[in-house]
A = this chain, B = another copy of it.
């Protein structure tokens, strides 16, 4: 077993693609790039990785993000490396192979660049359950996926059948909705040919042609897939790391904090339980001020206690089940 040590490695272009998230007016938003070549679809900002200029991926990422957008991102985390042939293709593809290392970055909404951020639920309307189950699920998605599941009985080397995957991902047939399965849901829709990116990739929708409504706005290349990964990771991370505070202003009320968590996780939360959670985790401290912004009783203002990072090993907002 020679372990490939003498194999020469294929030269490939490596790009860093960033899902840069901010929350404004109770709406999670991502930075979309101005489109080159009059492509009407939105895309995520990306830049090349130059190992000569930057010692690590993260340094490189911060550098070109700052250069392109004047945004200094705070929290940065690698998501996944995407390299499927075909899924990076654009209509005018040159044939060169590109792999993209996806990154999640969090920032406070910058004053100057606010217009460049788009609400992320434009791209994933079925992920916003804050006002109950989105209509698009029962009206379009689940019926179309059920039709797809009836076709193609057993695929080789697939652990689960189509029906089971539909159940688990979309909570059909009694299974609960899991807000963290954002990527699984998108991938299922892709496989079923129900998102535009899949059709662009040559995958024909299994269901009746022509009458498929657009399921969320498409993005360039595989960027919607990367965004789905970012949302899923952020929703999961909220529960065991205090990352929300990267998205909050310095002082805030508990309701504002709850609204931000709800915006990200796409669910409604139980007020009292949320508050106790924040309190027992000792994540915040009162400033003493109150805010009389919203018209009811003035709310006490809080700030994030930075010292929790030194005290507790995994301080997050482990928000529970339904509410």
Contact = CB atoms under 8 A, between A and B. Distances in A.
A15 B9 contact: yes
Contacts of A176: 313
A84 B56 CA distance: 5
Give the one of A6, A8, A14 with max B CB within 10 A. A14
Interface string A46-87: 111111100111000000100011000000001011011110
Contacts of A2: 33-34, 36, 68
A13 interface: yes
Contacts of A37: 5
Interface residues of A, number: 59
A98 interface: yes
Specify the main secondary structure of chain A where it touches its partner: loop
A114 B64 CA distance: 47
Contacts of A69: 1
Contacts of A50: 10
B68 A81 contact: no
Contact of A13 (B9, B33, B178): B9
A164 B34 CA distance: 43
A93 B23 CA distance: 45
A195 to B, nearest CB: 19
A34 B81 contact: no
A83 B48 CA distance: 13
Interface of A: 1-15, 33-37, 43, 45-52, 55-57, 64, 68-69, 78, 80-81, 83-86, 97-99, 101, 113, 116, 159-161, 164, 168, 175-176, 178, 309-310, 313
20 contacts: A1-B34, A1-B69, A1-B113, A2-B34, A2-B36, A3-B43, A4-B45, A4-B46, A8-B13, A9-B13, A9-B14, A9-B48, A10-B14, A10-B52, A11-B11, A12-B14, A56-B84, A78-B80, A175-B313, A176-B313
Closest 5 CB pairs of A and B: A3-B33, A9-B13, A5-B36, A4-B47, A51-B97
